[in-house]
Structure formats: structure tokens, C-alpha cells
Chains A and B, each alone.
Chain A
């Protein structure tokens, strides 16, 4: 019995330590699943303006159950990823439908891919970071973006 108590205490210490030990200056992407990141919307092609994607982000953020939005526009597709507040996660499918409907109505020219998956969100944030720090060429960014869109489509 004592051993079990000891094991539990040890485990909780471990969790506490690892949580506190995280360096404050780490990149956003490392913690993106645990906190709100709100990445700047971006376009893979930097010649184009990012006005449109900013507007899209605003529209999506206006949904009350949604709290963290990332928008990326590639050459053809526009990827919209968001996080849903915990208690609203039961209605995930409906929210996705609503978001898609609203966006498609407002921006009929765009080709939207909507997702609430953490993985897609994470990859979007990672891509965003690389774009910001200019670690990645535009061509590669577009390629990576297409991969992410493909991953989203695979899930459905």
C-alpha cells in the first residue's frame, strides 16, 4: 500500500516538475496544444495581401464556442483550423458545418478546408513559425501546406 502512495507522489512530482521546467522562451508550437496561440493568419505567397485571411479569422473567431483560430491561404486552398471550448466539443460536427456554411456563403470564390484537429493546428502553427523566421522557401511552404491539406482530407 505504501509503495503505491509513494509511486503516486513520485508521478505527481514528475508531472509538476516537467510542467514548471518548460522554458518560457520556447517557441509557440511546443505548447500550442495546451494554451491559446492565436497565430497570425498568413498567405504562403507573400506577394498577396493577407487582408482576406485576417477577415476570415475574425469571422471564425466570432463563433462563441471557438477560441483559437489559425488561417492559411495557399495558392488554391484556404485552410481554417480552430479549437473548440471544452464543453462545446460534444457539438463539434455541427460547429464545423456552421463554420463551413458561413465561410462559403461569404467568400464563394475561396476553396475552404475546415478542421478542428489538434494535429492540423499544430502543423499550421509550425509552418507559420517557419514562415515568420524565413526558414523555409515559399515553394517549400506551399508544398508543406498542400501536405497539411491532404492530411485533413485523409481524415474524413
Chain B
């Protein structure tokens, strides 16, 4: 924030102080508690689904993640389509945005939003409007970590 306010005149500064008095802050603690419970609930559902796959299908703990993630994303797709997920998001904040369901929601909501512009330019071009940066920086971060690890093991540290 500090960098944005480099060039404020005294008049602007005075107003901003006055405005701050009226501005409602985000209820951080309340949001954290809600995020904790809703995020936890989503993870419990995910755990239940992964147990389901372990019990009834031939998945081990190592590879049960794949079908579980697919199922969770599918569920969040359905909820997004029915217009429930954005309300959940308003309630839970990070609790519904951080789990993989939030990623599914980001992709699907953009796809729904832009389907009126056609399948190629609309859905295709905008689907990763929000999730694209997650993918890019996720892949980049993974690359950096892998690079560090490789170098460390080359030098015999690990």
C-alpha cells in the first residue's frame, strides 16, 4: 500500500484519514474462523472421498489423490453451476478459495461467464483468466524448488 501512496498531496492525505474513520475494515478474525471451519469441512469431505476410493477401489494412499482431486473439482463445478459456490465464498473466504475446489470454481466460473462469446474466443480464451496465474506460478515455483533440490543433491548436501 505504501508504494501506491507516494504522491499524495496534504489535502488527499487529510481526506484519506477522514475516510479511514468511516471505512469498515474486513473482520479478519471472524473471516479466519469461518475459513478454518469451512476449509476444514471441505478437507473432511475430501478425506472421506479418498477413504471411499481406498475401500472400494484399487487405489493406494499414494495414488488416491488423483481421483479425489478430480471428484472434488467436479463437485465444485456442480456447485458453481448451481450458483452456490460464490455464496459459500462470500461466507468462507479463503476457506473455500484455498482448497482445490476453489481452483475448480475459478476455472468454471470464468468458463460460464464467457460462454456467450462463443466456444473458442469466449470459453477457450477466458477459461484460465483467473486460474492461469495459479498454473503459471505453480509450475514456476515447482521448477525452482526442483532446481534447488537437484543442485543440492549434485553438491552432495542432500
Q: Report which A residues bind B (CB closer than 8 A).
A: 1, 3-4, 8, 11, 15, 33, 117-120, 122, 151-152, 154-155
Cβ-neighbour of A8 out of B41, B59, B64 (below 8 A): B41
A8, A11, A120, A155: most-surrounded residue (chain B CB, <10 A): A8
| CB-defined contacts of B91 to chain A, threshold 8 Å | 1, 4
| Beta-carbon contacts under 8 Å, B17-59 to A | 37-38, 41, 44, 51, 54-55, 58-59
| Beta-carbon contacts under 8 Å, B124-158 to A | none
Q: Are A151 and B41 in contact (CB under 8 A)?
A: no
Bound together, the chains give a CA A155 to CA B44 distance in angstroms of: 25
Bound together, the chains give a CA A15 to CA B41 distance in angstroms of: 10
Q: Are A33 and B54 in contact (CB under 8 A)?
A: yes
| CB-defined contacts of A3 to chain B, threshold 8 Å | 87
Q: Are B58 and A151 in contact (CB under 8 A)?
A: yes
Distance between A114 CB and nearest chain B CB, rounded to angstroms: 14
A4-B88, A155-B60, A155-B62 known; A15 and B44 CB under 8 Å?
A: yes
A1-B91, A3-B87, A4-B88 known; A117 and B44 CB under 8 Å?
A: no
Distance between A122 CB and nearest chain B CB, rounded to angstroms: 6
| CB-defined contacts of B44 to chain A, threshold 8 Å | 15
Q: Is chain A's interface secondary structure helix, strand, loop, or mixed overall?
A: helix
Bound together, the chains give a CA A63 to CA B63 distance in angstroms of: 27
Q: Are A122 and B41 in contact (CB under 8 A)?
A: no
Flag whether B11 is at the interface (Cβ < 8 A).
Answer: no
Q: Are B60 and A119 in contact (CB under 8 A)?
A: yes
29 chain-A/chain-B pairs, Cβ below 8 angstroms: A1-B91, A3-B87, A4-B87, A4-B88, A4-B91, A8-B37, A8-B38, A11-B41, A15-B44, A33-B51, A33-B54, A117-B60, A117-B61, A117-B62, A118-B60, A118-B61, A119-B54, A119-B59, A119-B60, A119-B61, A119-B64, A120-B60, A122-B54, A151-B58, A151-B60, A152-B60, A154-B60, A155-B62, A155-B63
| CB-defined contacts of B87 to chain A, threshold 8 Å | 3-4
A1-B91, A4-B87, A11-B41 known; A122 and B58 CB under 8 Å?
A: no
| CB-defined contacts of B63 to chain A, threshold 8 Å | 155
Q: Which residue of A lies closest to B58 (CB)?
A: A151
* Apart from A11-B41, A155-B60: 17 A-B pairs, beta carbons within 8 A: A1-B91, A3-B87, A4-B88, A4-B91, A8-B41, A15-B44, A33-B54, A117-B60, A119-B59, A119-B61, A119-B64, A120-B60, A122-B55, A151-B58, A151-B60, A152-B60, A155-B62
